[in-house]
């Protein structure tokens, strides 16, 4: 099991939508993390991501991304609380050390938590939902029209990461099988050398597939499916709500000198909208996938 979720084809509206549209939906949900610091709105966005993940059949993958993001968020929250001395509500008097005071205020702790929550939303949307539900090959194929070699390199990196991870795992096992196990550094060096061998093999495979002749691929005309339309519509509405709310001053948060978090109908409405819009493309008859031999 890899730390970062990997894409698997599944019978869901998000998987069925074209990669650009699926990625747009995930980016729209991530936009909430980029535009807001408001905890309720961020929680709403996170709720929308979780609901979308569950509906798309990638709930486990989203949960895995959360397990990756939460410790990071916690670290950010703790560091901000300890390092930043702003705020008037003292929670812990830490005394003096290294020539400065180490007090913890409610405002600094809250600000750290908001930033951490923001990181969680971004990781869940892009590292969880998008990684698991949007086909990277299709996405990179679209990008190959912009920069062919860069996009192909990114594709190869995506493909080779699990291969190299397996190589490293195997070398670790081989190390355990030796009566006198060598130092980890020697194994790492050998694994690096092995990855270069892999790279040479892949380069040879690319050459015989005609890589030297590669030009900019032609754009394919593909009619929009109902899943493309529904996911695209949801993405546009999520982005519109997020931008309009932020432009209209909703989600006001002021951490210092005292904590001031707006909690009115706008905040409640935006948070609820994110949850509902996360679920919207997966509900109703239009989202049904029918029978598939998967």
Partner 1 sequence: MTEPVVRAERFGYAYPEGSRVALHDVSLQLEPGTFTVLAGVSGSGKSTLLRAMAGLVPHFHGGEAGGELVVGGLGVREHGPGELAAVCGTVFQEPETQVVMGGVRAELELPLEHRGEAPAALARAVEETALALGVGHLLERRTDTLSGGELQRVALAAAMVHGPQLLLLDEPTSQLDPVAGDELVWLLRRLNEDWGTAVVVAEHRLERCLPAADRVIALVEGRVACDAPPQEYLAWAAEAMPALATPAARLFSLAGLPGRPASVKEARAGLREAGLLADAEPARGSRGRESSDGGLLRRILGRADRPPPALAMRGVWLEIEDGPTVLRGLDLLLRPGERVALMGRNGAGKSTLLRLAKGLAEPTRGRVERAGEVALLLQTPGDYLIHEHAVEDAGAAGVAAAGLAGREQANPRDLSGGERQRLALEVVLAGGPCAAVLLDEPTRGMDRAHKDGLAARIGELAGAGAAVVVATHDTEFAASFADRVVLLGQGNVIGDGPPDEVLGGGRHFSTEVARVTGGAALLPEEAARVLATAEPPAAVREVAP
State which of residues 59, 89, 102, 141 lies at the interface with partner 1 (CB under 8 A). Answer: 141
Q: Which stretch binds partner 1 (CB under 8 A): 81-89, 91-99, 123-131, 214-222?
A: 214-222
150 binds partner 1 (CB under 8 A): no
Pick between residue 16 and residue 275 the one whose CB is nearest to partner 1.
Answer: 16
State which of residues 5, 7, 22, 231 lies at the interface with partner 1 (CB under 8 A). Answer: 7
Binding to partner 1, residues 220-239 (CB under 8 A): 220-221
283 binds partner 1 (CB under 8 A): no
Q: Which stretch binds partner 1 (CB under 8 A): 43-51, 72-80, 168-176, 259-267?
A: 168-176
203 binds partner 1 (CB under 8 A): yes
182 binds partner 1 (CB under 8 A): yes
8 binds partner 1 (CB under 8 A): yes
Q: What is the 3-state secondary structure (H, E, C) of the chain?
A: CCCCCCCCCCCCHHHHCCHHHHHHHHHHHHHHHHHCCCHHHHHHHHHHHHHHHHHCCCHHHHHHHHHHHHHHHHHHHHHHHHHCCCCCCEEECCCEECCEECCEEHHHHHHHHHHHHHHHHHHHHHHHHHHHHCCHHHHHHHHHCCCHHHHHHHHHHHHHHHHHHHHHHHHHHHHHHCCCCCCHHHHHHHHHHHHHHHHHHHHHHHHHCCHHHCCCCCCCCCCCCHHHHHHHHHHHHHHHHHHHHHHCCCCCEECCCCCEECCCHHHHHHHHHHHHHHHHHHCCHHHCCCCCCC
Pick between residue 163 and residue 243 the one whose CB is nearest to partner 1.
Answer: 163
State which of residues 3, 72, 75, 204 lies at the interface with partner 1 (CB under 8 A). Answer: 204
Pick between residue 222 and residue 285 the one whose CB is nearest to partner 1.
Answer: 222
Question: Rounded to whole angstroms, how far apart are CA atoms 278 and 44?
Answer: 10
State which of residues 72, 90, 214, 243 lies at the interface with partner 1 (CB under 8 A). Answer: 214
265 binds partner 1 (CB under 8 A): no
258 binds partner 1 (CB under 8 A): no
Question: Rounded to whole angstroms, how far apart are CA atoms 212 and 222?
Answer: 28
Report yes or no: 142 and 155 within 8 Å, Cβ to Cβ. Answer: no
> What is the separation of C-alpha 20 from the centre of its chain, rounded to a whole number of angstroms?
15
Size of the site for partner 1 (CB under 8 A): 56
Pick between residue 75 and residue 214 the one whose CB is nearest to partner 1.
Answer: 214
162 binds partner 1 (CB under 8 A): yes
> What is the separation of C-alpha 144 from the centre of its chain, rounded to a whole number of angstroms?
22
Binding to partner 1, residues 51-110 (CB under 8 A): none
Pick between residue 219 and residue 285 the one whose CB is nearest to partner 1.
Answer: 219
Least distance to partner 1, CB of residue 203, Å: 8
Report yes or no: 47 and 125 within 8 Å, Cβ to Cβ. Answer: no
Strand partners, 261: 253
Q: Which stretch binds partner 1 (CB under 8 A): 23-31, 89-97, 182-190, 231-239?
A: 182-190
Enumerate binding residues for partner 1 (CB under 8 A).
6-9, 135-138, 141, 144, 155-156, 158-159, 162-163, 170-171, 173-174, 176-180, 182, 186-187, 189-190, 193-194, 197-198, 201-215, 217-221, 293-294
């Amino acid at each position: 099991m890899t730390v970062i979720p990997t894409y698997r084809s599944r019978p869901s509206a998000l998987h069925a939508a074209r990669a650009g549209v699926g990625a747009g939906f995930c980016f729209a949900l991530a936009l909430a993390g980029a535009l807001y610091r408001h905890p309720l709105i961020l929680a709403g966005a996170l709720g929308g991501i979780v609901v979308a993940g569950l509906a798309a059949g990638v709930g486990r993958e989203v949960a895995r991304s959360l397990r990756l993001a939460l410790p990071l968020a916690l670290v950010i929250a703790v560091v901000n609380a300890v390092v930043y001395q702003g705020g008037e509500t003292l929670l812990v008097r830490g005394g003096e050390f290294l020539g400065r005071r180490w007090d913890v205020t409610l405002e600094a702790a809250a600000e750290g938590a908001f930033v951490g929550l923001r990181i969680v939303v971004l990781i869940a949307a892009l590292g969880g939902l998008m990684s698991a539900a949007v086909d990277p090959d299709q996405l990179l194929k679209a990008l190959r029209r912009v920069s062919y070699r860069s996009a192909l390199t990114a594709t190869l990196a995506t493909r080779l990461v699990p291969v190299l991870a397996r190589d490293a795992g195997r070398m670790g096992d081989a190390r355990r099988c030796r009566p006198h196990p060598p130092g980890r550094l020697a194994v790492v060096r050998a694994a690096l050398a092995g990855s270069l061998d892999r790279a040479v093999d892949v380069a040879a495979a690319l050459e015989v597939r005609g890589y030297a002749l590669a030009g900019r691929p032609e754009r394919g005309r593909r009619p929009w499916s109902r899943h493309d339309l529904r996911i695209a519509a949801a993405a546009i509405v999520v982005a519109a709500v997020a931008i309009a709310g932020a432009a209209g001053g909703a989600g006001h948060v002021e951490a210092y000198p005292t904590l001031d978090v707006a909690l009115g109908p706008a905040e409640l409405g935006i948070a609820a909208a994110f949850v509902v819009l996360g679920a919207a493309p997966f509900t109703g008859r239009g989202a049904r996938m029918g029978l598939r031999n998967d």
